[in-house]
Structure 1
Amino acid sequence: MPNPDLLPSLLFKINENQLALEAAILELSKWVEQRGSAEVANNVRDVLDTCDRNEGFIKITLALLMAPD
């Protein structure tokens, strides 16, 4: 049987990866915009807004999962 205590830690690490990827993609969108593709950069930032909207829920849920009983 899987260890249920590992699930919160796993989800936390996945969330860390997601935030790191979001930051990297945002940097790339800035680079693209500086080279004249403002429309592409705006499209990327629009999609990244989904990550921003979900971040609060993810953090609260992880805090609840990781809280001691």
Structure 2
Amino acid sequence: MPNSSDCKVATADGLTLLLHNQHALSAAIEEITKWLSENGIGSVAVNAVAAMETLDTNSQAITDSILRIRQS
């Protein structure tokens, strides 16, 4: 069984990859939102902005978790 330190590193590394994926999704949603707004589909764009806000909120929580794991 791996030691606790190895598990913490693996967990933090896995969370870091998820955070990178979250940033990529946010960027994609931002591009789609821009296109929706420019093409007169504002109501859908509003929903996309709400999704980006959720990603941003969760991104900070994931970042905080990664830092706590790496510091312990």
What TM-score do the two structures reach when normalised by structure 1?
0.82
- Aligned pairs for 1:4-15 within 5 A: 4=7, 5-15=9-19
Q: Which runs of 4+ in 1 moved over 3 A?
A: none
Whole-Å separation in 2 of the counterparts to 1:65 and 1:21: 24
Structure 2 residue runs without a partner (length 5+): none
Using CA pairs under 8 Å that are at least 6 residues apart, name the structure with larger relative contact order, 1 or 2.
Answer: 2
What is aligned with 2:34? Answer: 30
Structure 1 residue runs without a partner (length 5+): none
Q: Which has the higher helix share?
A: 2
TM-fit CA distance, 1:60: 1.1
Identical aligned residues as a percent: 31
Q: How many residues align?
A: 68
